[in-house]
Chains A and B, each alone.
Chain A
């Protein structure tokens, strides 16, 4: 996943809260709570970065935490919150 290009799904509303963010998918009505501000940063950057690794690096996520972030992104993918980009550079 680290080498792939992803983006937030267009049906998702991302609403910041002091301790993270709420993400609501208007299409499938699933609601997720993003528990850390850096995760919110990563999710917002995904679409503008050529790879997941780039988004993690740009958000200053320590590499030791990358497995946890990747697992989290996979969960977000499973619920439809983020989708694979076709235009991967």
Chain B
């Protein structure tokens, strides 16, 4: 199809929705090992998986990303700096023309390490923090984690690392701290990044008590409109665009279209918020063509790149801006994918949740202990309603004991 004139922003999103020949960027969870046990961890991390990609396999993935001209990769986990070969892989990536941003809780960022990072081209660092104060942050991320993050940012700032990222997952408890978080980012010469909490991984257990209340969503939208020029969002709040003018960003679910996830054992998922068999496209080890083959030819990605009907949302006046919201948010709250987003600002999600099926079990789960946080674990024990999923893939429903 030849496209010439474009009406503007909507045209580009429409194009990207059909999928590109290679991701623009992607998330690579390098290990499921983590020294923390955040209550909302999207990847249910804690313990290393015995089957994680070897150093050689990781380098082969990087070679592929270079061939495909993936512009940069977000390396996370778990805590990626825990991997013994992490710093070597980082160098390998930047040496092979693949830009890197890695996400860290900061526990391995020493002054010396920070100086090396600051001197490395095509490298960015993202420090995670979920509260301006230790009491708010540590309730989610664990005692001492606030101090660790601030120490890391101090090292990075003193080493001359400019514009690294301070990344915050917006919760009910930190939404009144956005100005303070901006002050913290400014203090270290960092850029504040706010992202949406999805009910993914361990987040499925804590979402009901952490996700912003309806009136707080309005507060967040207004804050982003007032401050958005200086704050990144990873385009994670397009469901809020239904309130009014769209927020900056593509306002598009990039999963399987322009981005995806490679997990520590080589599984490829549509996105890091969708770590579940339902959204697994393949494995880089199992296909002769590796990651490129999975990206280009998997059934799941072909499905995501096809026309999307919009389902229940298609006739809503807000659909053009909110696009029906986040499929991971729907899936992990037990909603069918053609239902409204559970946090639909018009309240349609709340209505839908009243009759939702049992929540799918997040899988796989590498948590060091289940129910170890403040929140009791609650899993549905009856099978998920599968009527909305294709028959052509066999599925196993795994239930925890």
Contact = CB atoms under 8 A, between A and B. Distances in A.
Does A associate with B in a complex? Answer: yes
Interface of A: 13, 15-19, 22, 24, 26, 29, 31, 33, 35-37
Contacts of A37: 2
Contact of B15 (A19, A29, A31, A36): A19
A36 B6 CA distance: 10
Nearest to A24: B71
B254 to A, nearest CB: 13
Question: Is chain B's binding surface mostly helix, strand, loop or mixed?
Answer: loop
B124 to A, nearest CB: 8
- Chain B interface category by residue count: 10 to 19
B15 A26 contact: no
Given A22-B24, A26-B122, A31-B24, A15 B69 contact: yes
Interface of B: 1-4, 6, 12, 15, 20-22, 24, 69, 71, 97, 99, 121-122
B2 A33 contact: no
Contacts of A16: 21
Contact of B1 (A19, A26, A33): A19
Contact of B6 (A18, A24, A35): A35
Nearest to B122: A26
Q: Which 3 A-B pairs have the closest CB atoms?
A: A24-B71, A15-B69, A19-B3
A26 B1 CA distance: 30
A16 B21 CA distance: 9
B12 A33 contact: yes
A13 B21 contact: no
Contacts, number: 36
A24 B22 CA distance: 13
Contacts of B4: 35-36
A41 B242 CA distance: 39
Given A24-B71, A35-B3, A17 B122 contact: no
A26 B22 contact: no
A13 B97 contact: yes
Contacts of A24: 24, 71
Contact of B99 (A18, A22, A26, A35): A26
Contacts of B2: 19, 37
Contacts of B12: 33
20 contacts: A13-B69, A13-B97, A15-B69, A15-B71, A16-B21, A17-B20, A17-B21, A18-B21, A19-B2, A22-B24, A22-B71, A24-B24, A24-B71, A26-B71, A26-B97, A26-B122, A29-B99, A35-B4, A36-B3, A37-B2
A15 B22 contact: yes
Contacts of B22: 15
B9 to A, nearest CB: 11
Nearest to B68: A15
Contacts of B3: 19, 35-36
A18 to B, nearest CB: 7
Contacts of B20: 17, 22
A25 to B, nearest CB: 10
A33 B14 CA distance: 13
A65 to B, nearest CB: 10
A17 B22 CA distance: 9
B55 to A, nearest CB: 25
B17 to A, nearest CB: 12
Given A13-B97, A22-B71, 17 more contacts: A13-B69, A15-B71, A16-B21, A17-B20, A17-B21, A19-B1, A19-B2, A19-B3, A19-B15, A24-B24, A26-B97, A31-B71, A33-B12, A33-B15, A35-B3, A35-B4, A36-B4
A22 B263 CA distance: 26
A37 B2 CA distance: 9
Contacts of A29: 99
Nearest to A15: B69
A17 B2 CA distance: 12
Contacts of A17: 20-21
